[in-house]
């Protein structure tokens, strides 16, 4: 996991506990047939790096397509897959940030393909449709909660008891919800005593709405570098540096 490697490069000890299982959604050939000729879309938006992972195969690098990415991680994934990104948020790396881009201010009459995960946020599709665009959603992956074994949860509890974990990272509200759902009562108590690293005010507010009262460390976005920067700021403040 890139974030774990980045944290480890800064001397952090990390423990991975997947809270979401991600897998391909639907039949790729049927989806490609339904979408038809991609050149007929004025813009193709990828909403996450996972959307690129499961949806880049729909594209042809030889085609002249106008692509948008919701943030740096998504843009990097597209670049690594051989595609050039024309539209990215100028500030916040989320749906709101992308919608604020001048290229999306007046999309009336345009056909926009939205490559995304099933049951994700509906803001992009709803707002672009309200602005007059014809939005075609393409769900290329689906998410579901994981089911860690009792042994895994017991080992995690022991790490907390040994004061080996100070920060819980939840890069989305769905991850936070699943973590809280799978926690035993004792583990939930440990979650309340740890700091939670979350991206932005929207996720922070959502975590509070789930009933979590633990201290929150807010990063500017879910980008790995922003998460690391927020953690470094907290450690510097805590140490008095």
Residues 152 and 126 both lie in one domain: no
Residues 92 and 154 both lie in one domain: no
How far apart (Å, rounded) are the C-alpha atoms in residues 129 and 16? 38
Q: What is the pTM of this model?
A: 0.80
What residue numbers bound the domain in which 100 lies?
Answer: 22-144
Secondary-structure percent of the chain, ordered helix, strand, coil, rounded to 5: 45, 20, 35
Residues 14 and 55 both lie in one domain: no
Residues 108 and 200 both lie in one domain: no
How far apart (Å, rounded) are the C-alpha atoms in residues 1 and 18? 11
CB 192 within 8 A of CB 165: no
Q: At which of 98, 128, 144 does a domain end?
A: 144
Q: At which of 116, 144, 172 does a domain end?
A: 144
Residues 122 and 231 both lie in one domain: no
Residues 181 and 127 both lie in one domain: no
For residue 134, the domain's CATH number is 3.40.50.10090
Per-residue pLDDT of the chain (241 residues; tens, 9 = 90+): 788 898 899 888 999 999 999 999 988 889 999 999 999 999 999 999 999 999 999 998 777 899 999 988 899 999 999 999 999 998 888 899 999 999 999 999 999 999 999 988 889 999 999 999 999 999 999 999 999 999 999 999 999 999 999 999 999 999 999 999 999 999 999 999 999 999 989 999 999 999 999 999 999 888 888 999 999 999 888 765 5
Q: At which of 144, 169, 187 does a domain end?
A: 144
How far apart (Å, rounded) are the C-alpha atoms in residues 91 and 113? 22
Residues 133 and 30 both lie in one domain: yes
Residues 59 and 172 both lie in one domain: no
Token pair listed for 160: 């907390």
């Amino acid at each position: 996991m890139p974030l774990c490697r980045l944290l480890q490069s800064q001397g952090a000890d990390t423990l991975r506990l997947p809270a979401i299982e991600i897998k391909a959604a639907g039949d790729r050939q049927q989806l490609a047939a339904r979408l038809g000729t991609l050149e007929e879309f004025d813009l193709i938006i990828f909403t996450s790096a996972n959307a690129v992972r499961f949806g880049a195969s729909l594209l042809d690098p030889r085609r002249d397509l106008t692509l948008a990415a919701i943030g740096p991680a998504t843009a990097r994934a597209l670049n690594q897959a051989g595609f050039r990104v024309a539209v990215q948020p100028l500030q916040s790396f989320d749906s709101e940030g992308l919608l604020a881009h001048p290229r999306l201010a007046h999309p009336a009459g345009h056909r926009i393909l939205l490559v995304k995960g099933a049951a994700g946020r509906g803001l992009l599709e709803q707002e672009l449709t309200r602005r007059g665009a014809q939005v075609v959603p393409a769900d290329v992956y689906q998410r579901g909660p994981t089911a860690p074994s009792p042994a895994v949860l017991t080992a995690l509890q022991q790490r907390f008891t040994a004061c080996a974990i100070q920060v819980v990272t939840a890069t989305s509200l769905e991850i936070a919800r699943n973590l809280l759902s799978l926690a035993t009562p004792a583990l939930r108590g440990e979650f309340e005593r740890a700091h939670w690293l979350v991206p932005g005010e929207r996720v922070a507010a959502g975590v509070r709405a789930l009933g979590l009262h633990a201290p929150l460390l807010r990063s500017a976005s879910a980008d790995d570098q922003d998460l690391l920067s927020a953690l470094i700021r907290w450690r510097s403040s805590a140490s008095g540096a």
